[in-house]
Structure 1
């Protein structure tokens, strides 16, 4: 089955989260395209990297701009955030989220058309780019993701990532949203942020700069590197083509939802 096909199981989770579209009182104009088809068109763009205007209508997706507008509206309504929280809740209730530690990392992507949340990249000859910052649990499940300009330091997103983790309800007790430890590489080696993590009740495990390689954290941190590879396995996210940052972030959040949903499917 092609990866952009929306299964009945996935649609049962997505459909209740979508905002209700208002119809014109006089019912004039063409009927609105089915939401499920639009979601399949969005996933087709995300997986293949095709331009919106080239979306093949013969596959039943509708026009590319219709799918683009649905992506914009659904992101503004918080659909992807709520879907991600729903999927994480299913994993947590099944005991498949490991809160003993979280792993954080950032990766750079070139932005060929510029736009908000881009900046001269220090690793790409000052070409405009964006950074994807992700925090995962001990298994590599993405808990939260953010996007910034390519010239932003990774450590600036450490606390925003922790704040972006949704509160996940389990069977009993308070909702979980805070890991016990945070693992990070040398780019996060600042005593200020270590103190801030301790104040939140989180133990920082961060490699020190200026020491020989081989800190041993790689045996834990590899899961976030794998998650970054999964995210950029979606061709639309390998290079940033969207000028609007909200559209780019919507695709980034949707990719995290797809990755999390794959883990949920393993429970069946």
Structure 2
């Protein structure tokens, strides 16, 4: 297999029917979809400038425009949604989910657009480019965070981006709101996991109350300052929250998910100027992960 090989025929058979060229949408059909999609994947896998993607994938301008369009119109999200529906119907989705974030350095090519660092981001409309382009200044310089909600096997269900200095806890409700896996038959989409595993950064009354109200088990340890505050209050501090220490050991799947993501150099370092296209690359990575899982299930 050549170094430029990207998608297997089986993977393409899962992805291609959801793309605009196959769903009868208005506009001129894209006959070169596979080459272009593979070129986009190749670019993120290798971390190349768009101009340096091998000519065998087609003109670099076409790759960029198609990725910008598919990211902005939610096509990549739609493809991932279809794959998740199929995976859930086959029992492949483990609903004991984990949440965390990873911080990625923004290359100088990604950070040369004007940005409003004080503007609030709209995480309910993923097609709208945030005013800060999801780039912020943290200890390591300009950076972006990828926030992920993964299933019990570490496969991504929801992906969001934020500036690098943003906290993890405020992103929790947005990640949970985006968790919607449609049923293959009749019925409303599934939105409620069995349990949520998260580290101490997510230990807050609001998050625990949110999970408790929805009947979701919280597997979240308390930081030492919260423990000390409760003890100092005595009986008024209430009982300590339940915590399954053995189950918490399974949270490492989210860390392994990030290790898998960062095998794509274009995600480990952000080269994209737009948050929409950078997140689109992350969703595309999730598409390749789930398509492989579905192919594995078919073969068995």
Fold shared by both chains (TM-score > 0.5): yes
The question of whether the paired residues in 2 share the 8 Å contact of 1:134 and 1:144 is answered with yes
Q: Select 2:59's aligned residue among 58, 63, 66.
A: 63
Question: SS at 2:20's partner residue?
Answer: coil
* Higher RCO (C-alpha 8 Å, min separation 6): 2
The question of whether the paired residues in 2 share the 8 Å contact of 1:3 and 1:47 is answered with no
CA–CA separation in structure 2 for the residues paired with 1:43 and 1:61: 10
C-alpha displacement at 1:112, in angstroms?
1.9
CA–CA separation in structure 1 for the residues paired with 2:259 and 2:14: 26
1:188 and 2:189 correspond: no
CA–CA separation in structure 2 for the residues paired with 1:9 and 1:160: 33
Instruction: Check 1:62–1:3 CA distance in 2 against 1; reply closer, same or farther (3 A cut).
Output: closer
The question of whether the paired residues in 1 share the 8 Å contact of 2:100 and 2:168 is answered with yes
C-alpha displacement at 1:254, in angstroms?
0.5
The question of whether the paired residues in 1 share the 8 Å contact of 2:43 and 2:53 is answered with yes
Q: Select 2:99's aligned residue among 104, 111, 116.
A: 104
Q: Select 1:232's aligned residue among 262, 284, 288.
A: 262
The question of whether the paired residues in 1 share the 8 Å contact of 2:14 and 2:291 is answered with no
Q: Select 1:252's aligned residue among 262, 282, 285.
A: 282
The question of whether the paired residues in 1 share the 8 Å contact of 2:84 and 2:181 is answered with no
C-alpha displacement at 1:33, in angstroms?
6.5
Unaligned runs of 5+ in 2: 114-132, 228-244
C-alpha displacement at 1:32, in angstroms?
6.9
Alignment-derived partner of residue 83 in structure 1? 79
Name the stretch that deviates more: 254-263 or 194-203: 194-203
The question of whether the paired residues in 2 share the 8 Å contact of 1:118 and 1:148 is answered with yes
Matches within 5 A, 1:1-268: 1=1, 2=3, 4-20=5-21, 22-23=27-28, 34-57=32-55, 60-99=56-95, 101-113=96-108, 114=111, 116-122=133-139, 124=140, 127-170=141-184, 174-210=188-224, 216=246, 218-267=248-297, 268=299
Q: Given the two structures, how large is their TM-score scaled by the length of structure 1? A: 0.87
CA–CA separation in structure 1 for the residues paired with 2:5 and 2:171: 31
CA deviation vs aligned residue, 1:3-60 (integer Å, no higher than 9, x gap): 743333222332332224734xxxxxxx977111111111111211111111111xx2
Aligned residues: 253
Name the stretch that deviates more: 252-261 or 171-180: 171-180
Question: SS at 1:266's partner residue?
Answer: helix
Question: SS at 2:270's partner residue?
Answer: coil
Name the stretch that deviates more: 201-210 or 180-189: 201-210
CA–CA separation in structure 1 for the residues paired with 2:162 and 2:293: 27
RMSD in angstroms over aligned alpha carbons? Answer: 2.3
